[in-house]
Structures are given as C-alpha cells and as structure tokens.
Amino acid sequence: MAHTVPDIKHKNWSSQWLFIMAATGSAVGLGNIWKFPYITGENGGGAFVLLYLACILLLGVPVMMTEIMLGRKGGLSPINSMRKLVGIAKASPLWTTIGWSGLLAGVMILSFYSVIAGWALAYIPMMATGTFTGIDAEGSSELFGALIADPWRLILWHSIFMLMTMLVIARGMEKGLERAISILLPGLFLLLLALVGYAYVATDQFGRALSFLFNPDFDALLYTQNADGQTIFNLEGILSALGLAFFSLSLGMGSIMVYGAYLPKESSIGEATISIVIADTLVAILAGLAIFPIVFSYGLDIGAGPGLVFVTLPIAFGNMGGGVIFGTLFFVLLVFAAWTSAFSLLEPVVAWLVESKRFSRPNAVWLSGGIIWLVGLLNVLSFNVLESFHPLSFLGEFKLAQQNIFGILDYMTSNVMLPLGGLAMALFAAWVLPSAIVSKEFNLPEGCVTYRTWSFLIHYVTPIGVGLIFLKSVGLI
Ligand code: PFF
C-alpha cells in the first residue's frame, strides 16, 4: 500500500547557527559525560579513544552529512522524509524502515536516558546541601545504592525530567527549542571548562589523565578477564567504540535527520557537520579531562561502569575545597547536556504524529512522552526489583543473555540499531538516490574534492567498516 506523503511545511531554524547549536546540543549529552568516561575506563583508555576517534572521523562524519542531507531533502519527520525520498528515487518502500526503526530507537533510548538524567537531577540537591561532605568510598556507594534501589525516588526524578523535556518541545521551535538551546549550550561549555580548570588546579593527576586518554595500550582494549580470571581475547571493545561514536553523534535514528529537515536550503551541510563533530568530540575529551584526574587522585576504580560519575566523583567533591559548588555545577552540567539531547530524541516522534496523525503539537508531545515515560518505568525497575531479570537468558552464550531490560535497550540501540540505521542511510544515499539530487542538496558540484571524498567514504568505507565491525563482534563472521 502506497502511503501519501503529508503536504506540510515545518518552520525552519532561524539560522544555520541555531541548527548547529541544536544539533550540537543533541550530540553532546550523557553519551559524552557519563558514557564516554566509563566505557573508556572499562576498555583501558588510549587505544579505545583512538578507535573511537577513527570511527568518528571515517564513519561519523560522512554518515552525519548523509543524515542531514536526507532530512533536508525530505523536509519532514524521518518516516515521511524517507517515504518522500523513496518516491523521488522510485525505490522500494522497504527503505522507510529506516524511519520506523529510528522512531522505535528514539522511544527506547529516551526511556532509559530519562532515568539516568533523573539520577543527575537527584544529585543536584544532594550535592548542594553537602550530603557528600567528608564522605568515603563506602559511604558514596551506599548513597548511590540507596537511590537506585528506591523505585519511587527514581520514578519521581524520571517524571520530572520527562516533564521538563515535554514542556520545551510542546512550546514549538522558536519559543521552546531555540530559546532553551541558546541558553543551555553556552552554559554547558562554560561549566565544563570551569570543571576542567578545577581538576587541573585541585589535583596533581592531570598528566596521568592525559596519558591515559592518549597513550594507546591495545592489550587493554583487546583482552579482558573472564569470570574465572582467565585472560581472553575480546572484540566487544571495538563494537563499543563504534556504538559510542554513533550514540554520541546522535546518528542512525533520525534525530539529526529531523533537525536537518528544518535546515534552511542555503546552509552548508559540510560546514555544519564539521562544527558539530568537533564540538562533540571536544566535549567528550574535556569530560575525560575533568573526571579522570579526580578519579586518579583518589585512587578510585576507573572501571567502575555506569556508576563512575555517580559514585566516584562525589567522593572527590566531598573531600575537596570548593567541592560543594563544583560538585553541584557538575550535575547541573550533566542535566543540561541530557536535556538538550532529549529534545532531539522526542522530536522525530512528535513531528510524525503532527504530520501523519494530524495531532496538535502539544497533544503529540503528551501522547509520545506519556508512552516513553511508561516504558521508562521498566528501566527504573531494572535497577532494583527487576535487576536480575534477564528476559533473553535463552540466548545462552550471547552477550544479551545476561542483560536486564535496561542493558538490553542500551545494547540494542547503541550497538545494533544506530549503526545499522546509519549503514542503511549510507546505502540509500550512495546506491539508491540519484547522485545529481544528492550533490544538489549538498550544494556541491559532483567533481569537487569534498563531494568525491564523501562519496567514496559513503559508498565503500561506511558499509565495509560498519558491516565488518558489526558482524565480527556479534560473532557472525
Ligand atoms: N548523543 C546523545 C548523547 O551523546 O548523550 C544521545 C543521543 C541523542 C543518541 C539523540 C541518539 C539520538 F538520536
């Protein structure tokens, strides 16, 4: 059945600069400040960072250009943009799966993203009132443990974060998104710089953090210890680098596509991409430079996993001069970063409901936000009541078998849906959409170096790179 493409024109961003800010706000989030440090810590540092940077440069940049281009050409939510492009290219309607899988991934990601952002919200008053002053490692673990063991507290903070996000999106482009982002993003950069300065001044471990981040040790990446204490070869770290690159740049699920749909025609996609990617990468590195010196100077566990910034950092903040202020600022920063990313996770669903189901914008926000809030409850329970509930345990050896609901949603989105979504976008733009249309949308002549580099990367490097890493790490080759 052929679906009609709605004849709706969305409002554009007021300027290319606002698009860059909004897309940077989407990219910079928990992925940079919460995930990047703990995953880098778990994978031994420098070698992982190098691989992450390679994924960003060789796969992230061309895929981001592609995703923005597809969005701008389509001008609609990812599902309807893909429908429109399928019509233009006279291609199989199966390609619209890109839009549907993106919609699903957005719901899945925001449902746990909001719970983690809720932890950060909960930490703001705790930090500000000096709960952590003079605390030791045990005390800090206990406080974090008590928070995540209490479903009611988690539900409260998860609900507040979802409401904050929904209120901004419901107010629309200019009054909601643009206004919030132009305050939050500069605030975020200032806070981060202040924190790096603090880590530099207040600890003597800055050099060690630099060498941890930039001295590659490939053994630390490729070998891990199994449950029996034996050292085993393990490619999971490589898939994690790829997944984190896509997650951190918000690629492969339509967030960037829908933001691209609102980009004025004369803006340069290449320039915008470069600015967004540089800002995102810089924030991840700076977050590492704010966090690792503190972790090292207190001899804390660098491989602590998702609790890294919630258990380890408060110990440091609780024992340092100015810790109450800087600790509070850190969690405010985390909330700002998560908030501007959450906008872009909600927008694709909302745009689709407005276009195809004729909802008013506020109603679309309440419905989609309500559903995501409900799914979020399963994530809340994954940290307490349902912590050891492994719904996929029948998968035996496979990594997903030992994961609870949160673990499954996180793994499936970052390591499967986003890379495969990005791969499908690349294949569509490279092999299906006529190159005359593509080069016109990029405002680039087909013979110029930028276009030819993009074209080479997207025809060959992205499919082979993403395909190989993916198949190898899930054990299919
Ligand atoms: N890029 C965000 C982060 O690093 O936290 C998360 C994210 C936002 C992922 C939007 C995917 C997405 F579509």
pLDDT for 184-213, tens place per residue? 899 888 988 988 998 898 889 999 999 999
- pLDDT for the residue numbered 232: 77
Atom 10 (ligand 1) nearest CA? 250
Which is it for the CA torsion 213, 216, 217, 222, positive or negative? positive
How far, in Å, is the centroid of ligand 1 from the Cα of 248? 5
Among candidates 173, 244, 186, which has minimal Cα distance to 9?
173
Q: How far is residue 410's CA from residue 406's CA, in Å, rounded to a whole number?
A: 6
Does 23 sit in the ligand 1 pocket, CB within 6 Å? no
Q: How far is residue 96's CA from residue 85's CA, in Å, rounded to a whole number?
A: 9
pLDDT digits (tens, 9 = 90+) for 42-82: 888 999 999 999 999 999 999 999 999 999 999 999 999 99
Q: Which domains does the chain have, with CATH numbers?
A: 16-473 (1.20.1740)
Which ligand 1 atom minimizes the distance to the CA of 280? 4
Atom 9 (ligand 1) nearest CA? 250
Does 188 sit in the ligand 1 pocket, CB within 6 Å? no
> Rg of the chain's alpha carbons, rounded to an integer?
22
- pLDDT for the residue numbered 446: 92
How far, in Å, is the centroid of ligand 1 from the Cα of 243? 11
- pLDDT for the residue numbered 1: 46
- pLDDT for the residue numbered 2: 55
How far, in Å, is the centroid of ligand 1 from the Cα of 137? 31
Does 345 sit in the ligand 1 pocket, CB within 6 Å? yes
Q: How far is residue 118's CA from residue 123's CA, in Å, rounded to a whole number?
A: 9
When the pLDDT of each residue in the chain is averaged and rounded to a whole number, the result is 92
Q: How far is residue 294's CA from residue 144's CA, in Å, rounded to a whole number?
A: 18
pLDDT bucket at 443, cuts 50 / 70 / 90: very high
* Average pLDDT rounded to a whole number, residues 263-275: 95
pLDDT digits (tens, 9 = 90+) for 278-333: 999 999 999 999 889 988 988 888 888 888 889 888 988 898 888 899 899 889 98
Q: How far is residue 242's CA from residue 279's CA, in Å, rounded to a whole number?
A: 18
Does 419 sit in the ligand 1 pocket, CB within 6 Å? no
- Give 120's Cβ-side CA count (13 Å radius): 25
- pLDDT for the residue numbered 103: 96
> Residue 287 CB: number of other CB atoms within 10 A?
27
Q: Which residues pair with 233 in a beta bridge?
A: 223
- At residue 475, the 3 state secondary structure works out as coil
Q: Which residue has the higher pLDDT, 219 or 357?
A: 357
Token code pair at residue 35 = 């995930």
- pLDDT for the residue numbered 131: 96
Which ligand 1 atom minimizes the distance to the CA of 338? 5
Ligand 1: residue of 255, 339, 417 to mutate (most ligand atoms within 8 A of CB) is 255
Among candidates 383, 432, 431, which has minimal Cα distance to 409?
383
Q: How far is residue 430's CA from residue 441's CA, in Å, rounded to a whole number?
A: 14
pLDDT bucket at 399, cuts 50 / 70 / 90: confident
Does 205 sit in the ligand 1 pocket, CB within 6 Å? no
- What are the phi and psi torsion angles at 225 (to 5°)? -95, 135
Among candidates 416, 412, 418, 423, which has minimal Cα distance to 462?
423
Q: Looking at residue 244, what DSSP letter applies?
A: H
pLDDT digits (tens, 9 = 90+) for 76-128: 999 999 999 999 999 999 999 999 999 999 999 999 999 999 999 999 999 99
* Average pLDDT rounded to a whole number, residues 233-241: 82
Does 27 sit in the ligand 1 pocket, CB within 6 Å? yes
pTM comes to 0.93
Among candidates 123, 74, 161, which has minimal Cα distance to 341?
161
pLDDT digits (tens, 9 = 90+) for 378-396: 999 999 999 999 999 898 7
8 Å CB contact between 29 and 432: no
Among candidates 82, 455, 93, which has minimal Cα distance to 258?
82
Does 20 sit in the ligand 1 pocket, CB within 6 Å? no
How far, in Å, is the centroid of ligand 1 from the Cα of 337? 10
Cα torsion at 368, 374, 376, 380 (round to 10°)?
160
* Average pLDDT rounded to a whole number, residues 443-461: 95
Q: How far is residue 270's CA from residue 154's CA, in Å, rounded to a whole number?
A: 41
- What are the phi and psi torsion angles at 224 (to 5°)? -135, 170
- pLDDT for the residue numbered 378: 97
Does 250 sit in the ligand 1 pocket, CB within 6 Å? yes
Ligand 1: residue of 108, 341, 413, 420 to mutate (most ligand atoms within 8 A of CB) is 341
- pLDDT for the residue numbered 176: 86
CA angle 389, 393, 395 (to 5 degrees): 155
